[in-house]
Structure 1
Amino acid sequence: MFTSGTLALFGFHAPSFAFLKDGGVSIIAVLFTFGLVIFLHEFGHFIVCKLVKIKVEAFSFGFGPELFGRTYGVTRYSLRAIPLGGYVKPAGENMEEATGAADEYFSKPWYYRLAVVFAGPTMNYILAFALFAGVIFITGEPVPSNEPVIGEIAQGYPAETAGLKIGDRILSVDGAPVAAWDKMAALIHAKVEKEVAVKYQRGTENKTVKIKTARGPERVGVIGISPGMTFIRIGLFKSGKMAAGQCWFWTAFTVKSLASNIRHKEKPDLAGPIGIVNIVSKAAHSGFSDLIFLIGLISVAVGFFNLLPIPLLDGGHAVLYIFEGLTGKKVTPKIMQVVNSMGIAMLIGILVFATYSDINRIITSHKARKAAAVSGAPQP
């Protein structure tokens, strides 16, 4: 059974968890996000099953008790109580229940089954491309300013804790004057998890604050600020080109981040269910275009995650089918049972770790804010 759920997203950092303090989340935005991403993922599996003449017994959005369902032809279509997943059930996918009928899953050649498993992640990337292209076409191409003026502050990062605000002009870093954003960034990047003295101008006042940098994904020092942006209207073709670039960038970024984690024996930065809800909720409150762009990012993450060679995921199935194609040998039901058990254990482990990471961020963020208040650091 092909399933999709909100297990964990590699590379998604859930910064501040302020929504737990402010009260409530945008439930509609969360359900819309995962409803769209998961439905299209499962629809990818479903449509290819139909194309290669595999009988589909069930196509469900959500898990748990059925709320609404209809049977058309041989397929039961249903909406279930928990809208954080979904599944497609091809006939004969359980090898122990297969009868050998021509329209069953394992009766089809390995390359048909390979096409079925790749269809889900492919639909995620198609969705991401369409959403990225739409946002870029409507809002325009972002062009960052090189003025050392803060245009955005990432929540939960050192700059926010230190009290920096949007519109502050950075004057110097560790006594070195800065007149351009790139020079300022280079000075901060050079200090990884070290304290820097940042002098800035706010209105008519000049202030200095000491900030300990965080370690960025590229192993450089960061404090969580970005420059202001201007947007230039562009055509549909260039929007599509930039959207494809975004899909490639975020996939490559995730691969490099994971490779760096493995190489340096560091824990990956994961967002679990709590973190993902937080991210989506904040994007919904930031504006419609931010939410749509974030849905694209989540779709890329879901597509990439499902391609990992983990049993039960699409990538795990793909490895088995490619092995079958190379050797001419199908895996036995006993091997499938062992592999699936391993997959369940791995996925539960990832979910537990991601949830632990979410909770740890809440505690860390709370401690940082409390320490800043005690030390007299200005608060945002």
Structure 2
Amino acid sequence: MEFLQSVFSAGSGLLSYAIPALFVLTIVVFFHELGHFMVGRWCGVTIKAFSIGFGPELFGFYDKHGTRWKFSAIPLGGYVKFEGDENAASVPDEEAMKKMSADEREGSLHAKPLWARAAIVAAGPVANFLLSIVIFGMLLFAYGKPMTPARVDSVVAGSAAEEAGFEPGDIMVSIDGGVIEAFSDVQRLVALSSEDVLQVVVDRGGSLITLQTTPRRTEVTDQFGNKQKIGVLGIRHESNPDDVVRKQFGPVDALWGGVEETYFIATRTLGYIGRIFVGKEDADQLGGPIRVAQVSGQVATLGIVALVNLAGMLSVSIGLINLFPVPMLDGGHLVFYAAEAIRGKPLSEKSQELGFKIGLAMVLSLMVFATFNDITHIFLSD
């Protein structure tokens, strides 16, 4: 009974998260598919459909080129269907292509030169990265970046920081060569560095001192009550409004800041995945659509700016995931195209079909695993 009550309570909460989650996902998916769409059209490919979501169509319309633009019932992704595609994953429809007229075949994705097909496939993830750069850049230009000194106000007894020799009053200058501008930079760099040895340069009374420390993996609770395990040094920084300085950015600097933020999120995401494989992180932090809905709803309580920022972060993740060399994803298509470039001819229909089946199994397995994590994290957490 207690379990059912927790499920009902969590389910009710998730319903309230639906609108912010759909807002975030629709933005990210739309631009991803728009990348495929625009490059496909530039390359002269006939586009049958542009869908936000999967499953039965809810509503839509035809444009002057005959493309069906539509919203579908399951809002967990989207697709662009090109001439010659068997399904939303752009698996070639060999039988249909054999029956095409010369004009129809000319407009087929799979009849285009290798470079054009590769460009069309890569355009989706690239669009996601460009969207993230624009979002982060616009936010920096409009609102700047609030910064507080990376000052150590106190050291937790028995912590990694105490063992390393940190002292109150130290101002952190760099971590493993990465420049520290604000205390928030310290948190971002340390969080995914548990059990790693870090070289930290501090300014102590005008003298630069290098300290060696190893963040400890610790469970922390964020402002929304979510628990996660991250690297912690054991230093405290007292929040003082007088310390806050808002750094302003011009258009060029803001855009470059967007590039840097996109690169940082991408490298940290890949780093986290790599750490899972070597046993330094738990895979239970991987989330699926339920977790996205929860986080979107929580972030929405902070305002539209925070929600747009989340869209930028999610866009980086979607771009990266789609570049993984897994058939069914954009990265899998690029692997097939690379093999075609090396062999001088496409892989056999049987080989591609087997690859897509394996890819589908991998994607479905990941979705099941992520959903299980969501259920465990949201429904069964204390």
Question: What is the deviation of 1:333?
Answer: 2.0
Match of 2:97 in 1: 98
Question: What is the deviation of 1:79?
Answer: 1.9
Tell me whether 1:221 sits opposite 2:232 in the alignment: yes
Correspondence for 1:74 among 34, 50, 66:
66
Q: Counterparts in 2 of 1:3-82, with a 5 A limit?
A: 20=10, 23=13, 24-72=15-63, 73-82=65-74
Indicate conservation of the 8 Å contact 1:215/1:221, yes or no: no
Tell me whether 1:231 sits opposite 2:264 in the alignment: no
Correspondence for 1:174 among 153, 158, 176:
158
Which ranges in structure 1 are unaligned for 5 or more consecutive residues?
Answer: 1-16, 150-169, 196-212, 367-380
Match of 1:162 in 2: none
- In 1, Cα distance between equivalents of 2:365 and 2:171: 41
The CA deviation string for residues 107-157 of structure 1, in whole angstroms up to 9 with x for no partner, is 1111111001101001101110110011111111232333457xxxxxxxx
Correspondence for 2:258 among 226, 243, 259:
243
Q: Counterparts in 2 of 1:128-139, with a 5 A limit?
A: 128-139=132-143
Q: Counterparts in 2 of 1:115-264, with a 5 A limit?
A: 115-148=119-152, 170=154, 172-174=156-158, 178-180=168-170, 182=172, 190=214, 192-193=216-217, 216=230, 220-221=231-232, 228=239, 230-264=245-279
Indicate conservation of the 8 Å contact 1:146/1:227, yes or no: no
The CA deviation string for residues 185-244 of structure 1, in whole angstroms up to 9 with x for no partner, is 88996462479xxxxxxxxxxxxxxxxx9753xxx4368988755322221111111110
- In 1, Cα distance between equivalents of 2:277 and 2:297: 31
Distance 1:111 1:63, change over 3 A: same
Partner SS, residue 97 of structure 2: coil
- In 2, Cα distance between equivalents of 1:181 and 1:288: 33
Partner SS, residue 325 of structure 2: coil
The CA deviation string for residues 77-113 of structure 1, in whole angstroms up to 9 with x for no partner, is 2222222221111111223321361211111111111
Q: Which moved more, 1:74-83 or 1:171-180?
A: 171-180
Question: What is the deviation of 1:335?
Answer: 1.6
Question: What is the deviation of 1:270?
Answer: 0.9
Indicate conservation of the 8 Å contact 1:92/1:105, yes or no: yes
- In 2, Cα distance between equivalents of 1:37 and 1:335: 32
Distance 1:37 1:222, change over 3 A: farther
- In 2, Cα distance between equivalents of 1:237 and 1:301: 24
- In 1, Cα distance between equivalents of 2:22 and 2:229: 33
Question: What is the deviation of 1:52?
Answer: 0.7
Partner SS, residue 95 of structure 2: coil
Question: What is the deviation of 1:70?
Answer: 2.2
Question: What is the deviation of 1:290?
Answer: 1.2
Question: What is the deviation of 1:173?
Answer: 2.8
The CA deviation string for residues 313-348 of structure 1, in whole angstroms up to 9 with x for no partner, is 000000101111121121222222111111111001
Q: Percent identity?
A: 31
Distance 1:341 1:240, change over 3 A: same
Correspondence for 2:366 among 350, 362, 366:
350
| Structure having greater relative contact order (Cα 8 Å, sep ≥ 6) | 1
Which ranges in structure 2 are unaligned for 5 or more consecutive residues?
Answer: 1-6, 86-92, 174-182, 187-199, 201-210, 220-226
Indicate conservation of the 8 Å contact 1:214/1:221, yes or no: no
Paired letter, 1:97: A
- In 2, Cα distance between equivalents of 1:226 and 1:327: 58
Partner SS, residue 96 of structure 1: helix
Distance 1:128 1:223, change over 3 A: farther
Indicate conservation of the 8 Å contact 1:43/1:120, yes or no: yes
Partner SS, residue 346 of structure 1: helix
Q: TM-score, length-normalised on structure 1?
A: 0.72
Paired letter, 1:98: M
RMSD: 3.2
Q: TM-score, length-normalised on structure 2?
A: 0.72
Count of aligned residue pairs for this structure pair: 309
Match of 1:278 in 2: 294
Partner SS, residue 310 of structure 1: coil
